[in-house]
Structure 1
């Protein structure tokens, strides 16, 4: 056990950057690399060598079904496949090549490109492949809608807000991609796009769907009558939203779709590429590219970067390992943690009042963002993880930072007792049923996993006056528990992630181990353990598959389950021992663990993620915590995380 922990800690420590932080690759599906290729063709800024590397990546991840999935070995996804096919054709792939023919056949069998999702149809409209009436009618004038109106940009999640504002401005201006090679994809349509009349159609997710479809048809002719002066003013309002949030080389919202839309927006309004704003926006997109070594290597584009999240999680694992093994490792651990803390402290956002203040105008900022910089959009999940780390590292020295973080997190609690990731009471679910929101992810409602992290933080900090806030959060978690005893994991895959998160919070908050809520969760985790001692869960559980099931065990998910069981006081349960044995047996010769399946989600059913660091720091955390609990002869986990 000691040797396993030492090797894992050394492997993780070796990946720490010189300035103290960790950052791992954050991989999504084919969609963003495809969009990046098409963006270069839109702008006529084609990097031929890079495009070929991106194309190699896309060809490699094509599924056996002929199309592209949203996650490792997932089912065919029409929209991802349309974008990947178009991107590869733009690079120069012959449409009669076997991989292209298979993709085209799969697209046509699924209804053709005309049945792709809304964002794909916007992409097609920008290239002139479909008429603009093939996109939902949402006039850019919505930027004028007041905050009290049921539909306004402030009722959207931060990611929706930053993506939608420049996109609606583009839709109003209707620019055309330069597309210097004249690449088009008429072969992907079953019907002539200019003759299609039913672009907005079911299947709908609720009875609101057809209502909003009729409203879309009603508004469309009205939009055509909007006077030019009002449209120009709306585009200026959109620009006044975008420019203060450009966020330097980290980009608008620090997420790819918003950043790419800002690049196209500046181009559409005639801004010179040499203008510092346009230049920086383009640089922010390019910074997301990941290149493998070698002349024949691959490249892909990340949706964003995750250095604050990675540094917080890696540091927790390192701290746990140092305590578990002791000896000379403690001094090395202390040195690495001090560097990490020194990097994290100035990342706290103290002087920018972000979009969250629309709901909490008097709340003082104090959170951390997910990325290197994103001051308008701090994340309560990251804030909780970093605060718990700074507290366990040096509570006195970090007292001021912790107090700012504590007050901000408390102020971000929603009225139902839970926490969303970036916004407060961002839960007007009816908006997820408008035609524009066919992805169903327009909002940022409270979730069990984020709520759990906030409760863990508040409980660890230990202020008695915070108990009412904690109790409201616990009540929310009781209501959110699934019938089988698990919790839904909004930001990780999936019920194992949610259940681990909540059990840690309940432990920190002092909920008894025999509380029915805890017992049911424990029973569920034990019931889904695999024969090899590990745990695994498919991303398909976000799409209705059986919770907690997969074809193989994964190191990250096994670690979550083991940590959750230990948080519930089951240190000595045979399932924990079997999980620890699995992690010990699957460590490779480099002190690391390997896993290919995706382990997180951006938007369920739409966008999934693979955090490359999860396979490293979560197994180390689980093994170290097990060793620490054995040494101390206690069943109570001392920290909230």
Structure 2
């Protein structure tokens, strides 16, 4: 490593920047934006296969072949399918992958199927799978609806003050659950034209899934479990008129938020459920609502020469905003020009005219945010909005002085300010979404029903406010800094809700604290710096596994270095005025040594957070633009007179 550090002369660093910049400029779309693949686990492509056969559609045999190739490739050595690259066996993902492969023609006695089946049975069988998997099995008649938690359609009719209410849940839960309410009320059966079933995945007389998930409290679980039993007993007693009214309210909710060919909530589970809901309600394939909902699912497919898979959603706004920051760090004419084109594209995506679900909590706030996807007007998010606003502001200050970004910046920042939660932090989509008791309902065995404030989003939001000129002693920034101080862990790190994990959270918090001028010598920042330095790998990089999202987290566990996490650690250290620290030089040397011939960095490990312990993401863009950003910032700080990062990110 010492030889690599000694090779960090300005010319070699410039060469790293030049090669990465050229490669990324070549990946821009014709209209100036970027969008990289967004990969999850086997669950989504398997569910896509099952959706096609649920609807009784004529399948695309070549597409099925390619998805089968993909599923077989990512099968783990343990015989099942993990939730992330090289991860542990996951029962629910394995049940769905096995079912999908059998559906497309894989023989149950094939070696890979036999290994998967043996692993499933060793874990207690398909009855032990999570709630969403058991619902999928119920739709195919493989298991009974009584073995799934009861969520009556009448839930949508309850008043806002009621303890269990859709608007007390997160946006993603809301959009997934509403069409599911209709499916549970009507209990349709898949057409399944190939008549494929999986009775071999069930243990005869085996036990069902535990009534209480690991994150759930004993008392709350007993209460909600009793309520579930009452609802099951009362299921046949619901007044038919009330049930019809509830189903109609669900249909209207979905139709209002259908979001064109970008789909309900712009996330696969909600989109697929909306298609099945319309089908269960008798909508023909040609009905405009059903047809557009079905098209939205199709647009998530990634089809390559030999493989194919279905993405959980797409991330063009996020990718483009982060790319613009990286390119503006490069400081070249070509990079600046590309960044300006990307920003102009982003301005067209701002939501200025739709009061989304967030307005239930903050009705007096004007819309002004950006969504993660191409279109998702009811569900913009604070993270994207803060990053886009910072990019627009940065451009008008450096790349394009006098650029006409004022309206976009003002409305975006106004929306962010309006959604600060009472505890000083920011969530991703809603304010004060902190009804933690709801994570104890039987349906919430994933533990991800809510959208509370998080460290990473809060760091981004105060970074935006400070960059726009808000003073560190303003009440809202002081409240946010107090929040970050309260949630900092004893080892000095911060949790990373939307990126894996404490490395991501610590970079995000440090970037925001730097922007609001917290003294880099303060105890809060020194402890974070010491933690980052202490967990650096011998190769100079940083890494952290998705298993860090443990309920019993006791501190950092060593993991292989990745390009994206190394970049986050470097950006965090530099935000704390540590550009001259030897650890930073070692990290830059690692990125230089691992840059590939195409100018970019490879990375199979997942470093994106979907739902901790349940759902993870592989952002294919992360190992491409984050390392460029970190190396370019290193060059700029080393060449400048100041060691302080000038921007909020």
Which category of TM-score, normalised to the shorter sequence, fits these structures?
over 0.9
Matches of 1:305 and 1:141, distance apart in 2: 32
Task: Please list, as runs of the form range in 1=range in 2, the aligned pairs for 1:97-496 lying within 5 A after superposition.
Answer: 97-191=110-204, 200=211, 205-207=216-218, 208-293=220-305, 297-322=306-331, 330-394=332-396, 396=402, 397-464=404-471, 467-496=474-503
Matches of 2:384 and 2:606, distance apart in 1: 20
- Conservation of the 8 A alpha-carbon contact between 2:472 and 2:478: no
> Unaligned 5+ residue runs, structure 1?
323-329
Matches of 2:304 and 2:245, distance apart in 1: 45
Matches of 2:74 and 2:584, distance apart in 1: 35
Could you give the per-residue CA deviations for residues 537-578 of structure 1, whole angstroms, max 9, x where no partner exists?
Answer: 000001256654444111100010011001001111100110
Match of 2:5 in 1: none
- Conservation of the 8 A alpha-carbon contact between 1:157 and 1:444: yes
Q: Give the 3-state SS of the residue equivalent to 1:394 in structure 2.
A: helix
Matches of 2:634 and 2:210, distance apart in 1: 55
Q: Give the 3-state SS of the residue equivalent to 1:579 in structure 2.
A: helix
Q: Report the alpha carbon displacement of residue 634 of structure 1 after superposing the two structures with TM.
A: 1.4
Match of 2:7 in 1: none
Is 1:15 aligned to residue 27 of structure 2?
yes
Match of 1:536 among 535, 539, 543: 543
Matches of 2:557 and 2:215, distance apart in 1: 28
- Conservation of the 8 A alpha-carbon contact between 1:118 and 1:436: yes
- Conservation of the 8 A alpha-carbon contact between 2:129 and 2:209: no
Match of 1:569 in 2: 577
After TM superposition, the structure 1 stretch with the greater mean CA deviation from structure 2, 580-589 or 543-552, is: 543-552
- Conservation of the 8 A alpha-carbon contact between 1:206 and 1:433: yes
Matches of 2:413 and 2:457, distance apart in 1: 15
Count residues with an aligned counterpart. Answer: 629
Matches of 1:385 and 1:570, distance apart in 2: 23
Matches of 1:18 and 1:42, distance apart in 2: 37
Q: Report the alpha carbon displacement of residue 276 of structure 1 after superposing the two structures with TM.
A: 1.2
- Conservation of the 8 A alpha-carbon contact between 1:507 and 1:637: yes
Could you give the per-residue CA deviations for residues 594-619 of structure 1, whole angstroms, max 9, x where no partner exists?
Answer: 11100111100100000000001100
Q: Report the alpha carbon displacement of residue 219 of structure 1 after superposing the two structures with TM.
A: 2.0
- Conservation of the 8 A alpha-carbon contact between 2:491 and 2:555: no
Q: Give the 3-state SS of the residue equivalent to 1:3 in structure 2.
A: helix
Q: Give the 3-state SS of the residue equivalent to 2:609 in structure 1.
A: strand
Q: Report the alpha carbon displacement of residue 12 of structure 1 after superposing the two structures with TM.
A: 1.0
Matches of 2:492 and 2:385, distance apart in 1: 28
Q: Report the alpha carbon displacement of residue 86 of structure 1 after superposing the two structures with TM.
A: 0.5
Match of 2:560 among 533, 537, 552: 552
1:446 and 1:574, CA in 2 relative to 1: closer, same or farther beyond 3 A?
same
Q: Report the alpha carbon displacement of residue 400 of structure 1 after superposing the two structures with TM.
A: 1.3
- Conservation of the 8 A alpha-carbon contact between 1:40 and 1:47: no
Q: Give the 3-state SS of the residue equivalent to 1:300 in structure 2.
A: strand
Is 1:5 aligned to residue 17 of structure 2?
yes
Is 1:582 aligned to residue 590 of structure 2?
yes
1:464 and 1:526, CA in 2 relative to 1: closer, same or farther beyond 3 A?
closer
After TM superposition, the structure 1 stretch with the greater mean CA deviation from structure 2, 224-233 or 14-23, is: 224-233
- Conservation of the 8 A alpha-carbon contact between 2:472 and 2:516: no
Q: Give the 3-state SS of the residue equivalent to 1:608 in structure 2.
A: strand
Q: Report the alpha carbon displacement of residue 203 of structure 1 after superposing the two structures with TM.
A: 5.5
Match of 1:504 in 2: 511
- Conservation of the 8 A alpha-carbon contact between 1:114 and 1:199: no
Match of 2:90 in 1: 77
1:600 and 1:203, CA in 2 relative to 1: closer, same or farther beyond 3 A?
closer
Match of 1:88 in 2: 101
Q: Report the alpha carbon displacement of residue 346 of structure 1 after superposing the two structures with TM.
A: 1.2
- Conservation of the 8 A alpha-carbon contact between 1:536 and 1:549: no
Match of 1:327 in 2: none
1:546 and 1:30, CA in 2 relative to 1: closer, same or farther beyond 3 A?
farther
After TM superposition, the structure 1 stretch with the greater mean CA deviation from structure 2, 619-628 or 218-227, is: 218-227
1:388 and 1:284, CA in 2 relative to 1: closer, same or farther beyond 3 A?
same
Matches of 1:117 and 1:487, distance apart in 2: 29
Match of 2:10 in 1: none
- Conservation of the 8 A alpha-carbon contact between 1:412 and 1:419: yes
Match of 2:620 among 592, 612, 624: 612
Q: Give the 3-state SS of the residue equivalent to 1:224 in structure 2.
A: helix
Matches of 1:116 and 1:137, distance apart in 2: 16
Matches of 1:31 and 1:427, distance apart in 2: 28
**RMSD (CA atoms):** 1.4
Could you give the per-residue CA deviations for residues 341-364 of structure 1, whole angstroms, max 9, x where no partner exists?
Answer: 110001110000000000011110
Could you give the per-residue CA deviations for residues 418-440 of structure 1, whole angstroms, max 9, x where no partner exists?
Answer: 00000111111110011000000
Match of 1:33 among 41, 45, 49: 45
Match of 2:528 in 1: 521
- Conservation of the 8 A alpha-carbon contact between 1:58 and 1:84: yes
> Unaligned 5+ residue runs, structure 2?
1-12
Matches of 1:640 and 1:280, distance apart in 2: 39
Matches of 1:198 and 1:25, distance apart in 2: 34
Return the TM-score normalized by structure 1.
Answer: 0.96
Q: Give the 3-state SS of the residue equivalent to 2:83 in structure 1.
A: coil
Q: Report the alpha carbon displacement of residue 213 of structure 1 after superposing the two structures with TM.
A: 1.3
Matches of 1:516 and 1:9, distance apart in 2: 37
Q: Give the 3-state SS of the residue equivalent to 2:348 in structure 1.
A: helix
Match of 1:326 in 2: none
Matches of 2:484 and 2:255, distance apart in 1: 39
Matches of 1:466 and 1:288, distance apart in 2: 45
Could you give the per-residue CA deviations for residues 451-472 of structure 1, whole angstroms, max 9, x where no partner exists?
Answer: 1000100010113498211111
- Conservation of the 8 A alpha-carbon contact between 1:140 and 1:231: yes
Match of 1:592 in 2: 600
Q: Give the 3-state SS of the residue equivalent to 1:347 in structure 2.
A: coil
Matches of 1:538 and 1:59, distance apart in 2: 23
Return the TM-score normalized by structure 2.
Answer: 0.95
Matches of 2:359 and 2:473, distance apart in 1: 21
